[in-house]
Structure 1
Amino acid sequence: MDPVLDAFAAVPREGFLPREMRGNAAFDQPLPIGQGQTNSQPRTVADMLRLLEVAPGDAVLDVGSGSGWSTALLAHLTGPEGSVVGVELEPSLVRFGRRNLAATDQPWARIERATPGVLGWPEDAAYDRILVSAEAEELPPELVDQLAAPGRMVIPVAGLMTLVERSATGEVRVSGHGWYRFVPLRRRP
């Protein structure tokens, strides 16, 4: 059994798209959700979730939650014994994502408006898993600082899907896992 495929079946992409895009939900491509943002290509989301290795009970941070789809998928993977905090910078997408997430009835997950100038959600750190769905120019140390020991973070850095692993002793290992395109990771001052 593949927990990622199970999450995809339990949390259909269609419910996280603008009404006019829902007919395209099965297409394996990024789809626009407004504010210059996209709902990521399903194959890419699956690759990221497999690298992340979310387990039931994990505390997870979802940076760039957008439509709320990745937050809902992560919530399915953690189960009710876990917790997921999605953060999004665009206020209209925060509202859109919250509505979509609420429809999945997973109260252990929530979406917060990102604090301008701050990456992640340091108030609830440390996280067992961090998923970043926007491309950083370089690995952001403030997100690495929010990662638990042990913990895993998946983030696209300069086009390379990057896995950051922190050991129980705090040692950090970074590895690359293929080339992808994402919207840029932004932090407004």
Structure 2
Amino acid sequence: MDGSDRVREALEAVPRAGFLPRGARSRALDDVPILIGHGQTSSQPSTVSDMLRLLDVRHGHRVLDIGSGSGWTTALLAYLTGPAGEVLGLELEPSLAQWGAANLADTRMPWATIREPVPGVLGDPEHAPWDRILVSAGAEVLPRTLVDQLTPDGVLVIPVQGRMTRVALEAGRPRTTEHGTYRFVPLR
């Protein structure tokens, strides 16, 4: 099964509805961002699909999910890594981190967790290196600190100045490509 089929399978296995506020669940299949509180949104499914395909998550990977929000992307990543993997979701807004963790717990994928980040620290360098890092917030410049948290063949997917950017390390050297224009909340 190729990466596109695996992403499609993950999107079917982990429905967005379970990660939306009750009043918004009827719109889960709409291909639009949906407000989840605190100025945050659940990204539209086509955007999430694009990002997951670029990330190319494999079974057993260690994945960092920055801006996990409702927990949907963290759960999708956990599905893709399988129980041999590890997924850590970081969410800056405390109440969203708690809600996302509760949503994630309902999926029964204990190899994935969500917590608040260490104040003033981008990513989780203490537990690096990561095979994959997904960032669901827009950066003004590519954060070198995240690239430094990757394994020698790791991949980072992050919107930078509105352009979906993929950084793939090849023998420890970054190769950066851009993949379309997207809108995200700012990375803080």
Q: Letter of the aligned partner of 1:175 in structure 2?
A: T
8 Å Cα contact 1:162/1:176 also seen in 2:
yes
Where do 4+ consecutive residues of structure 1 move more than 2 Å?
none
Q: Determine the C-alpha separation between the residues in 1 that align with 2:87 and 2:96.
A: 17
Structure 1, residues 81-104: CA drift from partner, whole Å, max 9, x if none?
A: 000000010000001100100000
Q: Determine the C-alpha separation between the residues in 1 that align with 2:158 and 2:62.
A: 17
Which sections of structure 1, spanning at least 5 residues, go unmatched? none
2:89 corresponds, among 70, 86, 91, to 86
Query: Matched residues, percent identical?
Result: 62
Q: Letter of the aligned partner of 1:101 in structure 2?
A: L
Q: Letter of the aligned partner of 2:137 in structure 1?
A: A
Which sections of structure 2, spanning at least 5 residues, go unmatched? none
2:41 match? 38
Q: How many residues align?
A: 185
1:120 match? 123
Normalized against structure 1, the TM-score is what? 0.96
Normalized against structure 2, the TM-score is what? 0.97
2:144 match? 141
Q: Does 1:5 align with 2:8?
A: yes
> RMSD in angstroms over aligned alpha carbons?
0.7
Q: Does 1:172 align with 2:165?
A: no
Structure 1, residues 110-134: CA drift from partner, whole Å, max 9, x if none?
A: 0010122111111211000000000
Q: Does 1:53 align with 2:35?
A: no
SS in 1 for 2:167: strand
8 Å Cα contact 1:160/1:176 also seen in 2:
yes
